[in-house]
Structure 1
Amino acid sequence: MKNKGLIIALSVVVAAMVLGAVYTAFTINNRTLSEAARKINAQEIQDNYEKSEVWGKYYPKHWESFNEGSKYETKTKYGGNNKTDKLKVQPYLKILYKGTGYGEEFYEPRSHFYAVQDIGAINPIRTKTGGACLTCKATEVPRLIKTYGDAFYSKPFSEMYKQVKHPIGCSDCHDPKTNDLRISRPALIEAFERQGKDITKATKQEMRSLVCAQCHVTYYFQKDTKKTTFPWDNGLKADEVLAYFEKIKFTEWTHPESQTPMLKARHPDYELFQGSVHQSAGVACADCHMPYIKQGDSKISSHWFTSPVHTMEKSCTQCHREGTEQLKNMVYNIQDQHHEILDIAGNTNVKAINAIKQAAATPGANQKLIEEARQLHRQSQWMWDWVATANGMGFHNRQEAAMFLGKSIDLAHQAIQTAEKARGAAK
């Protein structure tokens, strides 16, 4: 009996060893075949790199997550994948943005998946800049910039729009040859160069934010060429960017009510994130917005690009030990407080516009003081706009957002007082 038991035990061990060897051989062979296949497949991707669906053939799990955002509306308390009319939600925007396309039509942006579709559907008054408006909307843009050079930015929007059809996708962030993260838009590279930095020296973790910084930043169009440019030469903070614009004497439009020479901020998400609690701890954009997920037997970085509110289990609880409900309540509490201050600052700037308008219409008002009031309004609305246009409703950096909103309110009150003083001089 003992010998029989020993024979059975040895048989089990041998069988396990054989199965293990077979599995190892199969795995190695399968991996070799997979790697060989990838080399062949890489050529197909290189030949069709603008078509994300081709990448999807060889990275099906990433492709499945990429398309997640197109399946259903994903609304959060202050954003989401549905088309929200911001002019209805925040009526004071009509006054603050008067004289621009944003004052006529302004919708909450949807996901990357809809980038080309949505920009083609907006009011033509919003696309008068030209090809520059497509800079971050389609995978064809890097090729078009290479083809036309800087002339791309000033070419008629309708002409350039006909040449794009693939929304933000794989090749915008990944090298078609190696699949490594890459910077495909020249504006970011040039901004680094002007600061004396070499973006090719960025670490992989830094790149997991920099690929986002190609587009999720503020920018302006140069007056003559309309070239998309990042105003970072003096730094990445609201007051540093303001100093840059003052130095080059740049004005985007003149407000029709106050006659103030205005500046326009555009979603400075990367800039506001710098110095935040999360960024200082080494967290990258992708850690929260593209968390690692399990799909079958694979672990991948989700390419859904959604609010972490939808993926808290993966995005937040890897570091935070509170439950998801408690974390969500914390997020919404931060955003609620931010939204309240944001509206106070916005409405205070409206009062500044009205005060300057009244002063300018008053016979004998002090013109020098009116000009001072306009300069204060230029600064106050810039500070507000910097925070208002950033995504995340203050969550990316609540302390810095609150600081600049506080500055905006203070400057707006100074503009009001100066305008009233200008009117008083007429009496």
Structure 2
Amino acid sequence: METGSLRRNCVVLCATGALVVAAGLIACAPQVQETGSMGDGGAVVAETPKPMPAADEYGVVKADSWKSIYPNEYRTYRENDANSLESGKHDYLELYLALNSMYEGYAFALGYNEAAGHTHTLEDVKETPRTTEKAQLANCISCKTPQFTAMVNTMGEDIYKQPFWDVVEQFDEPISCYNCHENDPQSLTVTNKFFARALGSADSPQVSKEAQSCGQCHNEYYFDPETKATTNPYTGLENMTPDAILAYYDERGYKDWEHPETGAAMLKVQHPEFETLYGGAQTFMVKQGMTCADCHMGKKVAEDGITYVSHTWRSPLEDEELMEANCNTSGCHASDEGGIAGKVAAIQAEEEARVTAISEKIEQMIARVAEQRESGALSGDALAEVQRLHRVSQFYWDFVMVENSEGAHNPELTFETLDKAEAAVDQALSMLA
């Protein structure tokens, strides 16, 4: 199986320590641009604020409507367009052949490509074989467009039960300003109410709005079997660990699908970036007050001298200015050999090698279970235990595989979780020898 750093395009840095940003934490919200003329005494007299742009039928002010009011933020937002479906996305089912066996019987076995950028979310969800070749519900539109988010908040959760194609075609706005700011660019909010409920009123004040606005989509979720609503498998930060999430699913007897070869009740994890950073003990970086925006956005200075926050979402590795100013020279990583990029590369190489090796073990386990089930050599309690180990090993493995930093967000948790995945699959293989 091919290995390397090709798995995900959203490589995340600043993971093994905090950046010391002299100017303070970088806010995600667009900065007010000073306009006006000089009045008596040299004071700046502000011009009359521009009116709020008109909202669409869903109550969403689209990104294009803010173009003239926040030109720098809008321009950098549009730079995300380059991260398109046609920009050379990897097919994970070809890159990691074991996935074809591991995800067999689930929609991800039909198609699993590297995701395009935030401005292509609607295209992405409408073109994946997971929706074109298999009937889905409207809950699959969660975090793909603010228009669906606004619809859920207005009409209620019954909309989740509607057929995917009956709902999705009416939308035309990908992830944009409304998702994080609603219609107030000077504030941050969590528009996905399911995540606000899961975080809880007690823990919400402990997490910055910058992190919450990103975390509301970058989290692990499932669809409630009865309501079909997008739901997080926890309440509060303490319960956002892999162990607690698995226990949550086990207590409810929940499964995403039954694996056709092993008969195991399987779980499919979704991009748990927020849980990896904030769940349980939390990372050193989080404890120092760093947020997603500090590493993935960053402050910039326009040609006219105005300071603004970039809305091009990318890896810090792709932002040399941010890296040099905040990481390699003045931050916690100034003494790291090769800078933070070198340190992260080492973490990701180790994670990639272990993810690949464990996936091959799980693939081998699946093949052995299928063979022994068919021959009758495996049944009863022994089969039930192997099925449990399949569920456990693949859950822990998937938690790391689909987290977008390849270990950089939280190396300690990453390798502890892979240890648990490997221990479970090794136990199963020993039973199948």
Scaled to the shorter chain, the TM-score interval is: 0.7 to 0.9
Q: Contact 2:327/2:340 (CA < 8 Å) preserved in 1? A: no
Instruction: Say whether 1:218 aligns with 2:205.
Output: no
Work out the CA distance in 1 between the residues paired with 2:252 and 2:223.
13
Bigger RCO (CA 8 Å, 6+ sep): 2
Deviation of the 1:333 alpha carbon: 2.1
Q: Contact 1:266/1:386 (CA < 8 Å) preserved in 2? A: yes
Q: How does 1:24-35 map onto structure 2 within 5 Å? A: 25=40, 28-29=43-44, 31-33=45-47
Deviation of the 1:419 alpha carbon: 3.2
Deviation of the 1:335 alpha carbon: 1.1
Which shows bigger deviation, 317-326 or 292-301?
A: 317-326
Seen in structure 2, the aligned counterparts of structure 1 residues 237 and 373 have a Cα distance that, compared at 3 Å, is same
The one-letter amino acid paired with 1:369 is: A
Work out the CA distance in 2 between the residues paired with 1:379 and 1:240.
12
Work out the CA distance in 1 between the residues paired with 2:350 and 2:220.
24
Q: Contact 1:50/1:171 (CA < 8 Å) preserved in 2? A: yes
Alignment-derived partner of residue 183 in structure 1: 190
The one-letter amino acid paired with 1:308 is: P
Instruction: Say whether 1:349 aligns with 2:362.
Output: yes
Deviation of the 1:127 alpha carbon: 6.0
Q: Contact 1:153/1:227 (CA < 8 Å) preserved in 2? A: yes
Work out the CA distance in 2 between the residues paired with 1:178 and 1:50.
10
Instruction: Say whether 1:290 aligns with 2:292.
Output: no
- For the residue of structure 2 that corresponds to 1:395, the secondary structure is coil
Alignment-derived partner of residue 260 in structure 2: 256
Q: State the percentage of identical aligned residues.
A: 24
Work out the CA distance in 1 between the residues paired with 2:56 and 2:127.
31
> 1:270-295 deviations in whole A, cap 9, x for unaligned?
11112223222211011000111111
Alignment-derived partner of residue 16 in structure 1: none
Work out the CA distance in 2 between the residues paired with 1:326 and 1:112.
29
Deviation of the 1:67 alpha carbon: 0.9
Q: Contact 1:369/1:419 (CA < 8 Å) preserved in 2? A: no
Which shows bigger deviation, 118-127 or 338-347?
A: 118-127
Instruction: Say whether 1:119 aligns with 2:125.
Output: yes
Deviation of the 1:179 alpha carbon: 2.8
Alignment-derived partner of residue 49 in structure 1: 60
- For the residue of structure 2 that corresponds to 1:93, the secondary structure is helix
Deviation of the 1:147 alpha carbon: 4.1
Seen in structure 2, the aligned counterparts of structure 1 residues 243 and 58 have a Cα distance that, compared at 3 Å, is same
Seen in structure 2, the aligned counterparts of structure 1 residues 324 and 133 have a Cα distance that, compared at 3 Å, is farther
Deviation of the 1:175 alpha carbon: 3.5
Deviation of the 1:344 alpha carbon: 1.1
Alignment-derived partner of residue 77 in structure 1: none
Q: How does 1:221-232 map onto structure 2 within 5 Å? A: 221-232=223-234
Deviation of the 1:142 alpha carbon: 2.3
Alignment-derived partner of residue 179 in structure 2: 172
Deviation of the 1:242 alpha carbon: 0.1
Work out the CA distance in 2 between the residues paired with 1:72 and 1:95.
29
Deviation of the 1:319 alpha carbon: 4.1
- For the residue of structure 2 that corresponds to 1:293, the secondary structure is strand
Alignment-derived partner of residue 288 in structure 2: 281
Deviation of the 1:46 alpha carbon: 8.9
Query: Structure 1 length as normaliser, TM-score?
Result: 0.84
Q: Contact 2:327/2:339 (CA < 8 Å) preserved in 1? A: no
Alignment-derived partner of residue 162 in structure 1: 169
> 1:235-278 deviations in whole A, cap 9, x for unaligned?
01111100000111101100011111101100001111122232
Alignment RMSD, CA only? 2.5
Q: How does 1:88-99 map onto structure 2 within 5 Å? A: 88-99=94-105
Q: Highest Rg: 1 or 2? A: 1
Alignment-derived partner of residue 66 in structure 1: 77
Query: Structure 2 length as normaliser, TM-score?
Result: 0.82
Alignment-derived partner of residue 406 in structure 2: 393
Alignment-derived partner of residue 197 in structure 1: 202
Which shows bigger deviation, 119-128 or 149-158?
A: 119-128
Instruction: Say whether 1:241 aligns with 2:245.
Output: yes
* Equivalences, count: 384
Structure with more of its chain in helix, by fraction: 1
The one-letter amino acid paired with 1:69 is: N
> 1:47-68 deviations in whole A, cap 9, x for unaligned?
9733111122210100011111
Instruction: Say whether 1:367 aligns with 2:418.
Output: no
Alignment-derived partner of residue 23 in structure 2: none
Deviation of the 1:331 alpha carbon: 2.1
Deviation of the 1:226 alpha carbon: 1.1
Deviation of the 1:230 alpha carbon: 0.5
Q: How does 1:399-418 map onto structure 2 within 5 Å? A: 399-418=412-431
Which stretches in structure 1 are left out of the alignment for 5+ residues?
1-21, 75-79, 421-427
